[in-house]
Amino acid sequence: MPRKIIIDTDPGQDDAVAILLALASPDELQVLGITAVAGNVPLALTQKNARIVCELAGKVDVPIFAGCDRPLARDLVTAEHVHGKTGLDGPTLPDPVMPLQEAHAVDFLIETLKREPAGSVTLCPLGPLTNIATALKSAPEIAPRIGGIVLMGGAYFQVGNITPAAEFNIYVDPEAAEIVFKSGVPITVIPLDVTHKALVTRPRNDAFRALGNRVGVAVAQMTDFFERFDKAKYGSLGAPLHDPCVTAYLLRPDLFSGRHVNVEIETEGRFTRGMTVADWWGVSGRAPNATFIGDVDAEGFFALLTDRLARL
């Protein structure tokens, strides 16, 4: 039986690749729906981009819902400087024709979690945690029904990518992240510590392009685009492929390793707003609340990704 998931996302090129990897793996993952949130670009673009990606994959029956258009308590910060003005700059992809669902993403999350058997649905947030936190605030009774949350966000050893201390997804809505991390739901965190080991080098990008299908070529064009920013910023051989690590973890957890530790979210710090304070060495005395992933087999990750994208 495939694992039931809901992908909560703000596409973003790396979000797009994460969605494509899930849609390419129907034997293991059943995508019940995709919920869009404001993040990398505003909501009007993230919900549109989610539909564009599903059409690219030929999976037009996936229901897509628009969610929250701003963080719980702050103005929206976006990342066009990384992802371009559309969020999916790089390839030229047609506007979507598949519909956006009328229901709000938060209502879909709540109704689905109440309807499906307890523990059977995993939430996969790839952007700011606004939709997930709003659902937990609106219907606290869903928390024990969530099978788990596997999210891309945070950083510890790699520090921040939007400020010196904070990773973008958590920084955009730290109040939402605090609600999620205090929810009691089993959480797995894929932080920058992992994603910065999953670099799209030239040979890896060439392998996507060599697939020859629409998806492979589009992914190569996407990673070509945002690579220019990250290579200049980090001086690395390629760009980190953040969000697909979430999908890869669901498919091949053996490629990853980490620790069950306490993770607190800094919401007030003058220099550290949005920091994920991971008690890696167990010095705080606080109870563990998340599995914080620290390492990935990058070769295995890219082999999996290339193999699956070839199927679309």
Max alpha carbon distance in the chain (Å)? 53
Residue 298, SS3 per DSSP: helix
What is d(CA 239, CA 228) in angstroms, rounded to the nearest whole number? 8
Q: What percent of the chain has pLDDT over 90?
A: 92
DSSP string, 56-113: HTT-TTS-EEE--SS-SSS-----HHHH-SSSS-SS--PPP-SPPPSS-HHHHHHHHH
Angle at alpha carbon of residue 28, lines to 181 and 48, rounded to 5°? 65
What is d(CA 6, CA 149) in angstroms, rounded to the nearest whole number? 10
Residue 104 annotated among the catalytic residues of the structure: no
CB atoms within 10 A of CB 24: 21
Average per-residue pLDDT for the chain: 96
Residue type for 23, please? L
- What pLDDT, on a 0 to 100 scale, did the predictor assign at position 80? 93
65-80 pLDDT, tens digit per residue, is: 999 999 999 999 999 9
For residue 131, what are the contacts with CB-CB under 8 A and spacing of at least 6?
A: 8, 35, 37, 67, 68, 105, 106, 109, 125
- Mean pLDDT, rounded, for 100-107: 98
Domains of the chain, by residue range, sit at 3-309
> Chain-centre distance of CA 112, in angstroms?
20
> Chain-centre distance of CA 288, in angstroms?
22
Two tokens at 200?
Answer: 């799209």
- What pLDDT, on a 0 to 100 scale, did the predictor assign at position 229? 67
For residue 72, what are the contacts with CB-CB under 8 A and spacing of at least 6?
A: 130, 133, 134, 173, 175, 176, 179
174-231 pLDDT, tens digit per residue, is: 999 999 999 999 999 999 999 999 999 989 999 999 999 999 999 999 988 876 666 6
Judge contact between 163 and 179, C-beta under 8 A: no
DSSP string, 131-182: HHHHHHHH-GGGGGGEEEEEEE---STT--SSSSS--HHHHH-HHHHHHHHT
- pLDDT of residue 159 exceeding 90, the answer is no
253-302 pLDDT, tens digit per residue, is: 999 999 999 999 999 999 999 999 999 999 999 999 999 999 999 999 99
Low-confidence winner among 30-44, 138-152, 217-231 (lowest mean pLDDT): 217-231
Q: For residue 99, which phi and psi values (nearest 5 degrees)?
A: -80, 155
Q: Which of 81, 83, 196, 242 is catalytic?
A: 242
> Chain-centre distance of CA 98, in angstroms?
22
Q: For residue 234, what pLDDT band results from cuts at 50, 70 and 90?
A: confident
238-252 pLDDT, tens digit per residue, is: 888 999 999 999 999
Q: What percent of the chain has pLDDT over 70?
A: 98
Low-confidence winner among 137-146, 168-177, 201-210 (lowest mean pLDDT): 201-210
For residue 301, what are the contacts with CB-CB under 8 A and spacing of at least 6?
A: 198, 244, 245, 248, 252, 255
Sheet with 290-296: strands ordered across = 64-66, 29-36, 3-9, 121-125, 146-152, 187-190, 290-296, 256-261
Q: For residue 293, which phi and psi values (nearest 5 degrees)?
A: -80, 140
Of the options 3.90.245.10, 3.90.470.10, 3.10.129.10, 3.40.50.300, the CATH number for the domain spanning 3-309: 3.90.245.10
Provide the Cα torsion 111, 114, 120, 122; round to 10°.
Answer: 50
Two tokens at 57?
Answer: 């994959």
- Mean pLDDT, rounded, for 86-111: 97
